[in-house]
Structure 1
Amino acid sequence: MDSISNVSARKYVDVYFELAEIYLKTGLKEKAMESLQKGLRLESWNYKYQLLLAKLEIDAQLYLKAYERLHFINRFCEDREYCRMADKLLKKPEFKIYMKQDPPPSLPGYKLYIIQFEGAQPIFIDAVASRIFQVFGIEVEVLNERLKPDTRKIRNNREHFYDLVIRNYQIRFGMHEYDELLRKTNIPRSKAENFKSKETLVKALCMQEPNGGELWNYIQATIRDQYDAEVLLKQIQQSFKKKLDLHGTIGLLGITADDIYFDDYNYLFGSGEPRLGVISHARFYDNETSLDTAIKRTVMQAFSTTGFIIGIPRCTSPTCARAYAHSLAEHDRKEDQICRECRDNLRERYRELSITNEEDD
């Protein structure tokens, strides 16, 4: 279970919590902490287990981690009993020396390259590059070349929708009316099955309605083709292999405006693995969303994916930019900063990379 992706592991989150309870009953506190951390990486808003992990961290003298966890419960939890217990623990004298902010991590000599897919918006790309440099302490370069996304394994959601609309029209009004619609739109029967013809037919049907223009725009905005995230990752790797092989390259991050998916899941905000990642801002911006909100969402997703590129795990802090978000609502509850747990993991990973770099030299 530990080896599968975060998206797939979401199905089994309760198993981690159940294991933690079993380990605690048998006195295996370290094993219990490990299982709680794995579960909270996938369901970080679970206050019950956040509080339990904080208690175990206090027992293990991990006061920094426990402090942030208890502070989160006090700030966001609506259950008064959990807040009361968190507040009581925060009054321990051990926490007083851990309340100051720690400096950001940095890794001189390493660079992250940002890959632009066609359609990706410059304002999002620039914001991501700037904030990664500030928060992760690594150099960032945006490459000028733009990739056309690989269409292998593409989900043709629009064409599927057009097929449904046309089929319903044929059933409701008959083939004679359908042939008449083809004639009015200047589409020969022999070309009626290609994508552009289907799109023209559905648009013509929309325009017969009083609010046809709005209806058509809504369809275009909400029904998107989706690209396979794994295919895009391989495309990035193959297209920029020379950059990836350069000494000091920490990884490649692709940014696309197209919707992406993985396996049998409906969609992804982003996907990352050691040295490679891709994020999509397709679901972050629409007519009802402010530009500031869309930028914040994109930056937070970039932070999450960049962490995987560098080689650190997901954290257990619900308000961290890297916390696992199952929806836009959960995305918007987070802060566009990384938590102390992620900063500590970054420092440890940077030390490992620095040692490897010295040995290579």
Structure 2
Amino acid sequence: MVNLYQQEGLDYFELISLALRNEYNLSTIKAGKFEIPAKAFNPLRNQYDASRIIESLIPKFDNKSDLNLLITDVDLYVPRFNFIFGLAEIQERAAIVSRYRLNGSNMKERLVKEVIHEVGHLLGLPHCPVPACVMYFSNTIDDTDKKSSHLCQECRRRFEEL
């Protein structure tokens, strides 16, 4: 089960629900809206710390055995990177994906790929060396565009063994 939290003003429930059902056979429920906490903003970078956003929302998570997915439209980062498209905090069973850098005519396709990628991490899948696999690490938007929205054969095998 995936609890989907979306930033106020966003509604990608149908798109994400279908993608997660098709790729991982997971059910998704609307868990509600959320606001980005002010403490997550870093004025020196003009970006939001993805880990702090997840951390601030942990008290909202009802069932600790469910997966929690946050969708936002702010520019995210973690300390080692200039920016990130998304982040999975495996121990917290929570992931965040931002559409901020996914803009363009294929934004929804990009969003689906990043959601499937981050939920894959929550399910125990590592990054994959195959550029066409959805679990391939996207360093740029071109990497996201080049990969598919599906697991490669090896990642599919790993997933089925989990």
Q: Same fold (TM over 0.5)?
A: yes
Residues 229 and 261, structure 1, Cα contact 8 Å, conserved in 2:
yes
Show structure 1 runs of 5+ residues with no match: 1-110, 161-224, 350-361
Matched residue, 1:232: 53
Q: Say whether residues 1:117 and 2:7 are aligned partners.
A: yes
Q: Say whether residues 1:259 and 2:75 are aligned partners.
A: yes
Q: Say whether residues 1:244 and 2:57 are aligned partners.
A: no
**Closer, same or farther: CA 131–153 of 1 in aligned 2, 3 Å:** closer
Separation of aligned partners in 2, 1:313 and 1:266: 21
For residue 83 of structure 2, give the secondary structure of its aligned residue in structure 1. strand
Separation of aligned partners in 1, 2:129 and 2:81: 23
Structure 1 residue 319, shift from structure 2 partner? 0.3
Q: Say whether residues 1:294 and 2:112 are aligned partners.
A: no
Residues 54 and 94, structure 2, Cα contact 8 Å, conserved in 1:
yes
For residue 266 of structure 1, give the secondary structure of its aligned residue in structure 2. coil
Structure 1 residue 117, shift from structure 2 partner? 1.8
Sequence identity percentage: 22
Correspondent of 2:25 among 102, 127, 137: 137
Matched residue, 1:146: 33
Residues 126 and 135, structure 2, Cα contact 8 Å, conserved in 1:
no
Residues 237 and 244, structure 1, Cα contact 8 Å, conserved in 2:
no
Structure 1 residue 243, shift from structure 2 partner? 2.6
Residues 74 and 100, structure 2, Cα contact 8 Å, conserved in 1:
yes
Amino acid aligned to 2:98: S
For residue 272 of structure 1, give the secondary structure of its aligned residue in structure 2. strand
Correspondent of 1:272 among 88, 105, 117: 88
Structure 1 residue 153, shift from structure 2 partner? 4.1
Show structure 2 runs of 5+ residues with no match: none
Q: What's the CA shift string for 1:236-280, capped at 9, x where partnerless?
A: 32222x2325xxx2x111111111110142211000032111110
Residues 252 and 276, structure 1, Cα contact 8 Å, conserved in 2:
yes
Separation of aligned partners in 1, 2:2 and 2:130: 25
Residues 131 and 147, structure 2, Cα contact 8 Å, conserved in 1:
yes
Q: Say whether residues 1:333 and 2:146 are aligned partners.
A: yes
Separation of aligned partners in 2, 1:236 and 1:346: 27
Separation of aligned partners in 1, 2:26 and 2:142: 30
Structure 1 residue 232, shift from structure 2 partner? 1.1
For residue 151 of structure 2, give the secondary structure of its aligned residue in structure 1. coil
Aligned length: 160
Structure 1 residue 155, shift from structure 2 partner? 1.9
Q: What's the CA shift string for 1:39-64, capped at 9, x where partnerless?
A: xxxxxxxxxxxxxxxxxxxxxxxxxx
Q: What's the CA shift string for 1:278-301, capped at 9, x where partnerless?
A: 11011111xxx21xx101110000
Correspondent of 2:156 among 343, 358, 361: 343
Rg larger in structure:
1
Structure 1 segments, 4+ long, off by >6 Å, are none
- 1:188-207 matches, within 5 Å, as none
Q: What's the CA shift string for 1:199-242, capped at 9, x where partnerless?
A: xxxxxxxxxxxxxxxxxxxxxxxxxx4211111111232222x2
For residue 267 of structure 1, give the secondary structure of its aligned residue in structure 2. coil
Correspondent of 1:312 among 119, 125, 131: 125
Q: What TM-score, normalized to structure 2?
A: 0.90
**Closer, same or farther: CA 262–325 of 1 in aligned 2, 3 Å:** same
Residues 117 and 255, structure 1, Cα contact 8 Å, conserved in 2:
yes
More strand by percentage:
2
Amino acid aligned to 2:122: I
